[in-house]
Amino acid sequence: MSQGKVYLIGAGPGDPGLVTVRARELIERADVIVYDYLANPQLLDWARDDAEKLYVGKRSGMHSIPQDEIEELLVDRAGKGLNVVRLKGGDPFVFGRGGEEVSELQIDKIPFEIVPGVTAALAAAAYAGIPLSHRDYSSSITFLTGHENPEKQTLSIDFTRYGKSEGTLCLYMGLGQLPRILKELKSGGMSGDTPVGIIQWATLNRQNSVYGTVDSILDEIEKSGIGTPAMIIIGEVVARRTKTEWFEGRPLFGKRIVVTRAREQAGQLSKLLSDQGAEVLELPFISVEPHFEEQRVTEVFAGIAVYEWIIFTSANGVKHFFDLFYKAYDDIRCLGPMRIAAVGAATAREIQKHKLKVDLIPAKANADALAEELVENEGVEGVQILVVTGNQNRESLVQRLESDEARAIVDTLPLYKTTKTDLANEPAAERFRNEGADAVLFTSASTVKSFVDQHAALQLAPDARRPAFGSIGPLTTKTLKHLKLPVAFESPEASLEHFVVETIAHLTA
C-alpha cells in the first residue's frame, strides 16, 4: 500500500481569507482533516464531501483529546496510505505543539510537510493597527506564552527578565495569568505607564479590543468583559497604533445580523454584510437531501424517450436529476428530444448549465402558472409529461395537468426531500438564542414564514439583544405585517446592495 503523508498546516488566526494558497490546495485534496479549536471550521467547506473530518479540540464541558492520541491518529491514517491535513490555529510551530507532532511522525517514518500560517501576534497587531516594530520605539519583538500549554496552569517563564525589554512583547495565552505577569514585569523594571493592548478573536467580526497601561489594564479588562482567546501586546508601539481603526471602524462592526440560508442569495448577502464588519449568523431553516426510489429512477430513465415534456419545479430538482442521469449515462443525447419547462429563472439557469435550452418559463414563477401556460398555450391532451420534484408543492401542478380539461399523462419523479432543519443543535441558532442580534433581514415572504414557523427554536434569552426586523421590499413587508412582526426598516429598492445600505443607515442612526 502506498504511504500517506501528513501536512501540518497553519490555519491562520480565524478569517479564512488569511490562510495560504498552499493550505487551501491541500485542504481541497485531503482524505482526512484533523483540526482543533482555533482553526476556523469554515475552512472545512473547501474539503471534499467524503473527506474524514475529525475535531480534536476542546468542547465546552469536555477535555480536548490528549496529545498522544492525536499523534496516534495522524500516524494511523497516514499509515493507511491517506493524505492527512493537520490544521492548527495560527502557525503550527508557534505555541502549537507542532514540534511534538513532527517528532512522532519521524519516529514512525511518516513523510510530512509543514505549511506556515499567520500567527496570532501578527494578525492581532495588523487588525488593531499596531506596528509591532518602529524605528523610534521598538526594535525587537518577543513572542511569549502565559502557559507552556493550556493544560498546565503554572508560569514557565520568569517575566522579571523581560521588565527591561525596550521592544514589543506579544503574549499568547496570557489572560489568566496576567495579574502575576504584570507584577513580575514591573518588579523587573517595567514602567507602570507602558501601553498595553488586548485583542480578542482577532480578524473575526467578533473581534474585541481594549487598551490601557500596565497599571490600568486589569481594571479595563474587568470593565470591558473581554475574554479568551486573546493576544496581549505590551510596549510603546501600542500607543502608536493607527488613529483610524480600519477593521473595527467599519460601519457594521460590532453588529450581529441574522439572514436565512435557504436561498441561493444568502451567501451573497452575508458577504456584503460581513465586508461592512457585521457578524453574520446564517440560519438554515430547511435542509435538502437526496431522497428517491432507485427502482423508480431506473424505470423512468429507461423510458425517458416517451416524454414530450419534462418539467423541473426547482433548481434542486435539476441538480439531483442530472447527478443521477450522469451516473447512468455518459452521453447527454440519451436524454432524448423532449421539451423542457422550468418553474422560474433560477431553475432555468441550472438547466442551462447543461447546455440545454429551456422551452418554457412561466411569466409568474410558480408551479400553478407553469401548469396554466402549458395547458393554455401548448395543449397537453394525451401528452406524456415527466415532473421532476421534491416532496412538496407538486400536487396542484399534477392535478391541473391531469384534469378533465387538460388530460395529460403525468409521471412524477421525486428526487429529494425538503425538511425543516432542527435548529436546536445549530451553532448559529444557539448564538442567536443566547445573545440575540441587532437585526434580522428578510429577503422574501418565505423567509418570514420560516422564521415564524421556527419561533420555538429561536426564543431569546432574557438579556439577549432584541433584533430589529428589516425587509427587502413591499411584498416581504406585507407578510411581516400580516404575521404581526414589527417592520423597523424597508429597503427603498428590492436589491441586496440597497438593502445593505438601508441596514447600515438604520443600525448606525
CA-based torsion, 22, 25, 29, 32: positive or negative: positive
CA pair distance 349, 443, nearest whole angstrom: 20
58 flagged as catalytic: yes
Instruction: Decide whether 38 or 190 has the Cβ nearer to ligand SAH.
Output: 38
CA pair distance 331, 320, nearest whole angstrom: 17
Q: Rounded to an integer, what is the distance from CA 357 to the centroid of its chain? A: 34
**By CB under 6 A, residue 169 contacts ligand SAH:** no
Kindly tell me which residue out of 4, 8, 13, 56 binds ligand SAH, with binding defined by CB under 6 A: 13
**By CB under 6 A, residue 124 contacts ligand SAH:** yes
**By CB under 6 A, residue 90 contacts ligand SAH:** yes
Q: Which three cell numbers stand for residue 493?
A: 429598492
CB of 465 vs ligand SAH, minimal distance in Å:
23
**By CB under 6 A, residue 89 contacts ligand SAH:** yes
173 flagged as catalytic: yes
CA pair distance 34, 430, nearest whole angstrom: 25
CB of 400 vs ligand SAH, minimal distance in Å:
56
Asked whether 90 and 10 are in contact (CB, 8 A), the reply is yes
CB of 118 vs ligand SAH, minimal distance in Å:
8
**By CB under 6 A, residue 172 contacts ligand SAH:** yes
The DSSP letter of residue 125 is: H
**By CB under 6 A, residue 85 contacts ligand SAH:** no
Kindly tell me which residue out of 42, 228, 396, 419 binds ligand SAH, with binding defined by CB under 6 A: 228
Return the bridge partners of 287, or none: 419
The three-state secondary structure class of 415 is coil
319 flagged as catalytic: no
**By CB under 6 A, residue 14 contacts ligand SAH:** yes
CA-based torsion, 213, 214, 220, 225: positive or negative: positive
**By CB under 6 A, residue 496 contacts ligand SAH:** no
Q: Which residue is nearest to ligand SAH (CB)?
A: 90
CA-based torsion, 490, 491, 495, 501: positive or negative: negative
CA pair distance 410, 313, nearest whole angstrom: 14
Name residues contacting ligand SAH, limited to 231-290 (CB under 6 A).
Answer: 231
**By CB under 6 A, residue 344 contacts ligand SAH:** no
Q: What are phi and psi of 121, to 5 degrees?
A: -60, -45
Instruction: Decide whether 95 or 312 has the Cβ nearer to ligand SAH.
Output: 95
Kindly tell me which residue out of 8, 56, 185, 199 binds ligand SAH, with binding defined by CB under 6 A: 199
Q: What are phi and psi of 218, to 5 degrees?
A: -65, -40
Instruction: Decide whether 227 or 474 has the Cβ nearer to ligand SAH.
Output: 227
* The amino acid at 385: I
How many other CB atoms sit within 10 Å of the CB of residue 31? 18
Kindly tell me which residue out of 78, 126, 173, 185 binds ligand SAH, with binding defined by CB under 6 A: 173
Instruction: Decide whether 9 or 257 has the Cβ nearer to ligand SAH.
Output: 9
Q: Which residues bind ligand SAH (CB under 6 A)?
A: 13-14, 38, 88-91, 94-96, 119-120, 124, 172-173, 199-203, 228-231
Give the residue numbers annotated as catalytic, written as ranges.
36, 58, 173
